[in-house]
A and B are shown apart, each in its own frame.
Chain A
Amino acid sequence: MTRVEIDGVERAYGAVKVLKGIHLDIEPGEFVVLLGPSGCGKSTLLASIAGLDPVQGGEIRFDGRDVARDEPSDREIGMVFQSYALYPTMTVRKNMSFALRVAGMAKPEIDERVNWAAGVLQIEPLLERKPAALSGGQRQRVAIGRALVRKAKVFLFDEPLSNLDAKLRGEMRAEIKALHEKLQTTFIYVTHDQIEAMTLATRIAVMSGGEIQQFGTPDEIYRFPQTRFVADFIGAPSMNFVDAVLRVEGGRASLEMGQVRVELDDYAFAAPPRDGQPVIFGTRPERITLQGDPSPGAIPARVTGVEPMGADTLVWLDTDGHRWSARVSPEEANALGREVHARPDPQGISLFEPESERRL
Chain B
Amino acid sequence: MRIRPQTLARLVLVPTILLTVIGVYGSILWTVNISFTSSGFLPTGKYVGLDRYYELWGQARWRVAYTNLFVFGGLYIFFCIGAGLLLAIALDQGVRGRSFFQTIFLYPIALSFIVTGLAWRWILNPTTGLEAYVRGLGYEGFSFGWLSDPDMAIFTLVIAGVWHSAGLMMVIIFAGLQSIDGEIWRAGRVDGISRFHMYRGVVLPMLFPVFVTCLVLLAMNVVRSYDLVVAMTGGGPGYSTDVPAKYIVDHLFDRANIGRASAGATMLLLTVMAIIALSTYLGRKETRR
Q: Please, which residues of chain A bring their CB within 8 A of the CB of B205? A: 89-90
CA distance A147 to B191 in the complex (A): 8
Q: Please, which residues of chain A bring their CB within 8 A of the CB of B197? A: 102
* Stretch of B13-21, B180-188, B216-224, B275-283 on the interface side: B180-188
Mask: chain A, 202-237; 1 = CB below 8 Å from B; 0 = not? 000000000000000000000000000000000000
Q: Please, which residues of chain A bring their CB within 8 A of the CB of B187? A: 79, 81, 85-87, 146
Minimum distance in angstroms from A51 CB to a CB of chain B: 8
Q: How large is the interface on B (under 10, 10 to 19, 20 to 34, 35 or more residues)?
A: 10 to 19
- Contact status A77-B190, CB under 8 Å: yes
- Contact status B193-A102, CB under 8 Å: yes
Minimum distance in angstroms from B282 CB to a CB of chain A: 16
Q: Please, which residues of chain A bring their CB within 8 A of the CB of B190? A: 50, 52, 72-73, 77-79, 147
Among A52, A88, A146, which residue has its beta carbon within 8 angstroms of that of B186?
A52
Q: Please, which residues of chain A bring their CB within 8 A of the CB of B255? A: none
Knowing A98-B201, A102-B197 touch, does A87 contact B192 (C-beta < 8 A)? Answer: no
Minimum distance in angstroms from B55 CB to a CB of chain A: 49
- Contact status A73-B192, CB under 8 Å: yes
Mask: chain B, 54-84; 1 = CB below 8 Å from A; 0 = not? 0000000000000000000000000000000
CA distance A87 to B201 in the complex (A): 9
CB of B194 closer than 8 Å to a CB of A: yes
CA distance A74 to B187 in the complex (A): 14
CB of A25 closer than 8 Å to a CB of B: no
- Contact status A52-B189, CB under 8 Å: yes
CA distance A51 to B192 in the complex (A): 12
Knowing A102-B194, A102-B197 touch, does A87 contact B202 (C-beta < 8 A)? Answer: yes
Chain A residue nearest in CB terms to B204: A89
Identify which of B190, B191, B202 gathers the most chain A CB atoms within 10 Å of its CB.
B190
Q: Please, which residues of chain A bring their CB within 8 A of the CB of B192? A: 71-74, 99, 102-103
Chain A residue nearest in CB terms to B196: A102
Q: How many residues of A contact B (CB 8 A)?
A: 27
Minimum distance in angstroms from A240 CB to a CB of chain B: 40
Q: Please, which residues of chain A bring their CB within 8 A of the CB of B206? A: 88-89
Minimum distance in angstroms from B252 CB to a CB of chain A: 46
Q: Please, which residues of chain B bring their CB within 8 A of the CB of A89? A: 202, 205-206, 208
Chain A residue nearest in CB terms to B187: A85
Q: Please, which residues of chain B bring their CB within 8 A of the CB of A72? A: 189-190, 192
Q: How many A-B residue pairs have CB under 8 A?
A: 65
Minimum distance in angstroms from A197 CB to a CB of chain B: 22
- Contact status B189-A99, CB under 8 Å: no
Minimum distance in angstroms from A145 CB to a CB of chain B: 12
Q: Please, which residues of chain B bring their CB within 8 A of the CB of A23? A: none
Mask: chain A, 34-73; 1 = CB below 8 Å from B; 0 = not? 0000000000000100111000000000000000000111
CB of A150 closer than 8 Å to a CB of B: yes
Chain A residue nearest in CB terms to B200: A102
Identify which of A85, A147, A150 gathers the most chain B CB atoms within 10 Å of its CB.
A85
CB of A82 closer than 8 Å to a CB of B: yes
- Chain A contacts with B in 142-157, Cβ cutoff 8 A: 146-147, 150
- Contact status A83-B181, CB under 8 Å: yes
Knowing A50-B190, A102-B197, A102-B201 touch, does A82 contact B183 (C-beta < 8 A)? Answer: yes
- Chain A contacts with B in 66-125, Cβ cutoff 8 A: 71-74, 77-79, 81-83, 85-90, 98-99, 102-103
Minimum distance in angstroms from A2 CB to a CB of chain B: 15
Chain A residue nearest in CB terms to B205: A89
Knowing A50-B190, A73-B190, A99-B193 touch, does A85 contact B201 (C-beta < 8 A)? Answer: no
Identify which of B184, B191, B206 gathers the most chain A CB atoms within 10 Å of its CB.
B191
CA distance A73 to B187 in the complex (A): 10
Chain B residue nearest in CB terms to A130: B289
CA distance A179 to B206 in the complex (A): 31
Minimum distance in angstroms from B216 CB to a CB of chain A: 20
- Chain B contacts with A in 190-237, Cβ cutoff 8 A: 190-194, 197, 201-202, 205-206, 208
Q: Please, which residues of chain B bring their CB within 8 A of the CB of A90? A: 201-202, 205
Chain B residue nearest in CB terms to A77: B190
Minimum distance in angstroms from B208 CB to a CB of chain A: 7
Q: Please, which residues of chain B bring their CB within 8 A of the CB of A81? A: 183, 186-187
9 closest cross-chain pairs (CB), A and B: A73-B192, A99-B191, A89-B205, A85-B187, A85-B183, A81-B183, A79-B190, A87-B202, A72-B190
Listed by A's residue number, 20 A-B pairs whose Cβ atoms lie within 8 Å are: A52-B189, A71-B192, A72-B190, A73-B189, A73-B193, A79-B190, A81-B187, A83-B183, A85-B184, A86-B187, A87-B184, A87-B202, A88-B206, A89-B205, A98-B191, A98-B193, A99-B192, A102-B191, A102-B193, A146-B191
Sample of 9 further A-B pairs with CB below 8 A, known A50-B190, A146-B191: A72-B190, A77-B190, A85-B186, A85-B187, A89-B205, A89-B208, A99-B193, A102-B192, A102-B194
